[in-house]
Amino acid sequence: MQRLAALPKPYLFVFAVASMAAAVLACATVVAILAPGLAPSLADKDFANYWMASRLLLSGEVQDLFGPWDVYFSHLQEAFGSEYPWHNWSYPPHFLFLVWPFGLFGYKTALLLFLATTGIAFLFAYRAFIGERNLVAWVAAMPFIVINFWAAQNGYLCAALALGALALREKRPIIAGILLGLLTIKPQLGLLFPFLLVAERRWTVIASATISTLLLVAASAAIFGPDAWRGYIQNVVPYQNAVMRVLEGLFLAMMPSVYGALRNWNFGPDMALMLHLSVAAPVALVVIAAFFRVGDARDRSILLLIATFIITPYALSYDLGLLAGALGLMALRDPPSPEGRTRIAILTLAMLLPLAMIQFGLLKIPLAAIVLFALLLVALRDAGLTPDFLRRRVSVKMDAAP
């Protein structure tokens, strides 16, 4: 293991900031857990949706998850009080397979169990993805670990599924495909996986992921009823689209995409999406082409994990566990050269995004979008895809032509 004192100073800064944030949030969480009753800081979590979904499933009222949003919200108000802030259900029916046991416990116990189980899954997947013991890789993930602990979202879970699939795609292709099938609970995080798998000719992973997804859909329809999927398509998806178009303030500050930045600057949703796609489409083409040209599997993984947050319009700060995997790998290869300082500075900003991007977003500064594009350029250069490299490739082909 690398010694802490041997880390570059910017990474020591990341470690210090994340450690202080962890101490503050851990103390606040302990106080809230030990306090009598249910503190608003614990109740107003995204985990409340998972807990309520499990309770509705166990009580035979699962269809209320997929009906009009006010029907579902009335259950939350009944459980947490009439002043409970707005929450909505936004997941497909097979997400219930991953959260149903938590309704067997009281809210506080269930919250701690959810964070513990998904957190452990993330740590194992992250370690498998990085592939070696190195302190700098763990420092890269610390800000994400801290912010997702406080948010109590599914960031640990989704990152574990994505990073686990990437780590296992060669040696355990069937398991990798199953993990990708489960990742369809948040399909916007898996947009680039099919292209990567085709480029690498991972046919077993593709087959496993396809079959797993179909089985999950069929099993959820059989167990929860076809009305669950009908309600998801007719009610949940349109309402979630409305959320994307209407919500402002903190919600937009949590979005790292160009779409989120433009909406945060008061662009209308249609114009913001059009401009986002005008940027996302070229990035997607470049990265997909890179999948077929880059020889190193780690470089391909890094490009996928970074580009995902540029291409998808809808991701939030607690989804950045996928990005932490890319940062961990990139930090392991910092070059000991003068230009390496710029590289380290970009990586440092990227590591701090889970903790910093919301504050900058509230000030209308699109820190996340800027850093992601800079990070993608660094990753392309690491992979050997520089303008000079491309010119050399074109020259070689022209010289080889008859």
Q: What is the mean pLDDT of residues 195-206?
A: 97
Classified as helix, coil or strand, 271 is helix
pLDDT category of residue 247 using cuts at 50, 70 and 90 = confident
Domain of 48?
A: 4-395
Instruction: Specify the range with the lowest mean pLDDT, choosing from 1-5, 29-33, 65-69, 319-323.
Output: 1-5
Q: Which amino acid is at 188?
A: Q
Q: Is residue 313 part of a domain?
A: yes
The count of other CB atoms within 10 Å of the CB of residue 38 is 18
pLDDT category of residue 246 using cuts at 50, 70 and 90 = confident
Instruction: Specify the range with the lowest mean pLDDT, choosing from 31-40, 124-133, 220-229, 369-378.
Output: 31-40
Two tokens, residue 100: 């149903």
185: pLDDT strictly greater than 90: yes
State how many domains the chain has. 1
Question: Euclidean distance between the first and final Cα of the chain, in Å?
Answer: 54
pLDDT category of residue 333 using cuts at 50, 70 and 90 = confident
Q: Provide, rounded to the nearest whole percent, the portion of the chain with pLDDT above 70.
A: 94
Buried/exposed 135-172: b ≥16 CB within 10 Å, e otherwise: bbbbbbbbbbbbbbbbbbbbbbbbbbbbbbbbbbbeeb
**Residues ≥6 apart with Cβ < 8 Å to 55:** 75, 79, 103
What is residue 334's predicted lDDT score, i.e. its pLDDT? 66
How confident is the prediction for the chain on average, in pLDDT?
A: 91
What is residue 338's predicted lDDT score, i.e. its pLDDT? 58
115: pLDDT strictly greater than 60: yes
pLDDT in tens, 284-319: 999 999 999 999 999 999 999 999 999 999 999 999
The count of other CB atoms within 10 Å of the CB of residue 279 is 17
pLDDT category of residue 3 using cuts at 50, 70 and 90 = confident
Quote the pTM value: 0.92
What is residue 400's predicted lDDT score, i.e. its pLDDT? 42
Instruction: Say how far apart CA 21 and CA 400 lie, in whole Å.
Output: 57
Q: Is residue 55 part of a domain?
A: yes
Q: Is residue 161 part of a domain?
A: yes
What is residue 4's predicted lDDT score, i.e. its pLDDT? 78
Instruction: Specify the range with the lowest mean pLDDT, choosing from 69-78, 254-263, 334-343.
Output: 334-343
pLDDT category of residue 1 using cuts at 50, 70 and 90 = low
pLDDT in tens, 136-179: 999 999 999 999 999 999 999 999 999 999 999 999 999 999 99
Instruction: Say how far apart CA 136 and CA 330 lie, in whole Å.
Output: 10
**Residues ≥6 apart with Cβ < 8 Å to 61:** 75
Instruction: Say how far apart CA 26 and CA 48 lie, in whole Å.
Output: 19
Q: Is residue 401 part of a domain?
A: no
Q: Is residue 213 part of a domain?
A: yes
CB-based burial label for 391 (10 Å; 0-12, 13-18, 19+): exposed
pLDDT in tens, 249-261: 889 999 999 999 9
> How far from the centroid of its chain's Cα atoms is residue 28's Cα?
25
399: pLDDT strictly greater than 80: no
Q: Is residue 400 part of a domain?
A: no
331: pLDDT strictly greater than 90: yes
Q: List the one residue out of 48, 106, 97, 108 whose CA is nearest residue 72.
A: 48
What is residue 235's predicted lDDT score, i.e. its pLDDT? 93
Instruction: Say how far apart CA 134 and CA 343 lie, in whole Å.
Output: 19
What is residue 391's predicted lDDT score, i.e. its pLDDT? 46
Q: Is residue 215 part of a domain?
A: yes
Q: Is residue 364 part of a domain?
A: yes
pLDDT in tens, 337-362: 556 788 999 999 999 999 999 999 99
**One-character DSSP codes across 119-165:** HHHHHHHHHHHH-S--HHHHHHHHHHHHHHHHHT-SHHHHHHHHHHH
Inter-residue contact 259 to 278 (CB < 8 Å): no
Inter-residue contact 91 to 185 (CB < 8 Å): yes
